[in-house]
A and B are shown apart, each in its own frame.
Chain A
């Protein structure tokens, strides 16, 4: 039985095998032979004969193919090169088609690829940052076995943690605990470095480390010259980092050279180590044996807590028994304090504080989430635009199905296109990463080396992200488009059934929601920062600078001060121990009248002189300040309100007060609370006293006006009274800015990310609105000819976006609210989370969306209706 349809199908199949003919050509031929068959049937022939005749008309397959081939090759500059030989015909033709489609729709392709590339770039960079943060400090050989010893102690009802431990701890831990293979304690100090043979070379070094002989055994800091390990067992030896050695000695060999610390002690350079890598929190430039700088009595004491102590454990596990054993060591020595010791892994130090709470880890989490947000936004755009473009090709799909292309082929086609796009986006993004290396460094202090990009972890990450994106974006169009009913698709372009529309709606809403959340986050961080900055510390922080005291200045202090006070720019001069707002010295063992046994209060220890309180504007609320008229003041004390409260003392003035077993003095005044510690730590009880042993800083308050003039005046005075020391100063308010470093940085980064997310969203909206405008071209044309104004047309097109933005807000606000509230809980002082912030973000999102979308709307509204109606 001859079956016409089957015969035609078989005939088509044979044509499919051709490399030069594509579906449209085959369809055209099919239509042709069907017309011919119709004619022959009308003339009276039977189907079989009609078919034979019609097909014979197309002569031999090869020559037909050859003719088509000649036309094809016109594209390749008339050469006979047939690239089909390079790849299997199947994939190559699909690839050709994909490239052709892309060239046809340059604008869409550009927007789509760039949007995706941006999203990928940002996520890659964040991924890189996260990876780096998580790996900080892990480069040491013994990283898994190293733990920091943290102190846990009670002050009244509060539990506090810090990492300042007794000098004697490291040795005691090593000797008394079997699990501890080795232990080291080290302490940061500042020192003045000078050289006997180079008069004018003087350096203030901030990062000098006092170490014991185990330091270089326990930590991995590769040496370049000499033997640092051995060196730190020799008193009088010093080890430098490569750059420091270079800074001091240029190209000369540093070994054996002598340098002087604080104009007092000489040290011989016995080793040079490699510069400390950027991913290390332990960061110093010079290393000196602790025994050379701290006297033996202090070294064996348990009362002074300055160094950090690390232990190297047998196996990397911390047992409760071990912690108990260690705690026992300190409790034995300081029975009156409620102190215990806990261990913290080296790898956690960068991201978690000593009490185990998340510090940097917070940001790692937040930025990871933001990265995912941005990637999702980019993918959403990509999917949206891909499907939008696909709709235009509905006719093509219908055509091919009519011609007999199998669904898999069509799906595969779309899929391949998606992969092609994703790969191109990947290429662009890698290029962008390379170009943005500098910006990245500014924001994070990290550098991206090319080798980092090639590391297996990173490559895997990139691959995953790319594949995920390609799949996500390609699967939907591939499956949906290939399932069209061909005839329906051809007839009216695309069945805009509710299902497809709501999918797109959902995507846009999600995207705008994410952007809003980021906007709110950005606004929230900025607001909190401004709030913290504006908070009153309780003392004058503006116009106050401080300088380090030195031996010469100490001798000449009065003269120096008098000279300065002659300067009209200078308002006050005084001395203290540490910068206000950073006063971290505490003391225990305090006694007062009416103290209960078991009472133990840690006081902030604040040495001042007669002028300090006035300079800082700290107010007396009871009693009086220190005065030269009362020589007994040298052993008297002033407390703050918090201290009185902690001691439960009524009528404190005149009551006895002592710091330790030996001396007793009287409380002569109470000051209003001020922030001796950074704001985050809240207020503490403090004791102020005249302790000339600890006048390490000179404070100077200058009058409002030109800072530079005042400074040059001060420098002149300095040069007169302190010649052997470099003139260095810092402003208090600038110092506090450093405290906010993490927040400022987070704010900067969040701002950048929010803007990028919005930009990507705009790209997506642009493409989407263009597509929708095109879809409605016919409708618009008709309306315009019926007299609709341009404004109406614009409204018609933008109306739906307005609703989408509204919906996005409804979704975004609760999420943003909870996230922000969560973050703010970390700060003892926080701004109020008010409505204006959210409204502002919503307004911003609305304005940006409408602005972007209106481009296309206006263009469509102003277009000539005749154009849109012509092709019907």
Chain B
């Protein structure tokens, strides 16, 4: 289980990074995150959807309702220009942190 604070902080950059690859809807995002993280990150809908809405309100995403061939209605999210810039910002932040941590952890034996 990953700490709550960490999960919360990483939500935005993860979502943006997923959507950079193409538009997607809530349920699928949750599945992708689960797969990519090897199961460590299991987002609940209670957590994800409010975040998506907040990000939309802040202008990083836009949403559009689409009808699938099976007749299922889904709300797709797409990243905006503003979202791109926000992602850059987040990447630089995280890269600074991970760079520091990588440097500090190099001499230590492997953790697995």
Contacts and interface: CB of A to CB of B under 8 A. Distances in A.
Note whether A and B form a binding pair: yes
B57 interface: yes
A98 B28 CA distance: 32
A63 B67 CA distance: 29
Contact of B44 (A57, A75, A490): A57
Contacts of A25: 49, 53
Contacts of A68: 49-50, 53
Interface stretch (B7-15, B71-79, B83-91): B71-79
A142 B86 CA distance: 82
A74 B57 contact: yes
Nearest to B28: A35
B26 A74 contact: no
Given A24-B75, A27-B75, A31-B72, A490 B67 contact: yes
B75 A59 contact: no
B32 to A, nearest CB: 13
Contacts of B54: 71, 74
Contacts of B53: 25, 68, 71
Chain A binding surface, main DSSP class: helix
A512 B27 CA distance: 53
A64 B50 CA distance: 9
B75 A31 contact: yes
Interface string A51-68: 000000111000110011
Contact of B46 (A31, A67, A75): A67
Contact of B26 (A28, A63, A67): A28
A74 B56 CA distance: 12
Contact of A71 (B25, B26, B57, B64): B57
Nearest to A396: B65
Nearest to A395: B65
Interface in B13-64: 25-28, 44-47, 49-50, 53-54, 57, 64
A27 B73 contact: yes
Given A71-B57, A399-B65, A36 B27 contact: yes
Nearest to A34: B72
A54 to B, nearest CB: 9
Contacts of B26: 28, 31-32
B72 A67 contact: no
Contacts of A276: none
Interface string A461-503: 0000000000000000000000000010011000000000000
B73 A29 contact: no
Interface in A362-409: 395, 399, 402
B44 to A, nearest CB: 6
Given A34-B72, A399-B65, A28 B50 contact: no
Residue with the greatest number of chain A CB neighbours at <10 A, chosen from B47, B64, B72 = B72
Contacts of B57: 71, 74-75
A34 B25 CA distance: 13
A765 B74 CA distance: 36
A190 interface: no
B69 to A, nearest CB: 11
Contacts of B64: 871
A71 B27 contact: no
Contacts of A533: none
B56 to A, nearest CB: 9
Nearest to A27: B73
B46 A64 contact: yes
Nearest to B64: A871
A71 B51 CA distance: 8
Contacts of A792: none
Contact of B45 (A58, A71, A491): A58
Interface in A16-43: 24-25, 27-29, 31-36
Contact of B71 (A29, A35, A59, A487): A487
Contacts of A70: 50
Given A71-B54, A395-B65, A59 B46 contact: yes
Contacts of B65: 24, 395, 399, 490
A487 B54 CA distance: 28
B67 A35 contact: no
Nearest to A24: B75
Contact of B49 (A29, A35, A399): A29
A31 B74 contact: yes
Contacts of A67: 46-47, 50
Contacts of B71: 487
B20 to A, nearest CB: 18
B50 A32 contact: no
B46 A63 contact: yes
Nearest to A70: B50
Interface of B: 25-28, 44-47, 49-50, 53-54, 57, 64-65, 67, 71-75
14 contacts: A27-B73, A31-B25, A31-B27, A31-B72, A32-B27, A34-B72, A35-B27, A35-B28, A35-B72, A59-B46, A67-B50, A68-B50, A68-B53, A74-B54
Q: Nearest 5 A-B pairs (CB), nearest first?
A: A35-B27, A67-B50, A28-B75, A32-B27, A71-B53
